[in-house]
Amino acid sequence: MSRIYQLKMILALLLLVSFINTKIVSASGPDIGFISVSIYALLATPDKYHDKKVQFIGFLNLEFEENAVYAHKSDFEQAIMKNSIWVDIKPNSKEKSKRGYVLIRGIFKADEFGHFGLFSGAIRDIERLEPHKSRIQLESEL
């Protein structure tokens, strides 16, 4: 690779990183905007994101009385509920994912804690919930 190409790639990566935690607004209008955020930011500073439309990645578990997105799969396996956010999803929902990493978007509620108050907030009015592809899956598609 040429030196100029490497510098262009570094610049592109720096620009991408600078936009990670910025507000994204759809062309359809400002009311469709959302904040792309780390689940760790939601867990650490929930009041900052209360009643805001957020999008984040986490490990989803859908089962009776334990619908939640965990920061990491090991948090689910070790039942570390405080590292998770309750997912307020309709029982008739046709979501295919029962367990796995997902991208989720909805309204974050810092003052709702799910079943028996075990979780660190809740996500409601979910408008996007889809599997998150691993690095290996993405590379295989290239």
Q: Which domains does the chain have, with CATH numbers?
A: 35-136 (2.40.50)
Q: What is the DSSP string of 38-67?
A: -HHHHHH-HHHHTT-EEEEEEEEE--TT--
Cα 138 to Cα 6, 18, 141, 142: the distances in Å are: 22, 22, 5, 7
pLDDT tens track for 16-47: 444 444 444 443 444 458 999 999 999 999 99
What pLDDT, on a 0 to 100 scale, did the predictor assign at position 22?
A: 42
Q: Which residue has the tokens 């810092």?
A: 110
pLDDT score of 11 more than 90: no
Looking at residue 98, what is its pLDDT?
86
Written as six digits, the tokens of 42 are 């939601």
* pLDDT number for residue 23: 43
Q: How many CA atoms lie within 13 A of 37 on its CB side?
A: 23
pLDDT in tens, 86-117: 999 876 556 555 899 999 999 999 998 877 77
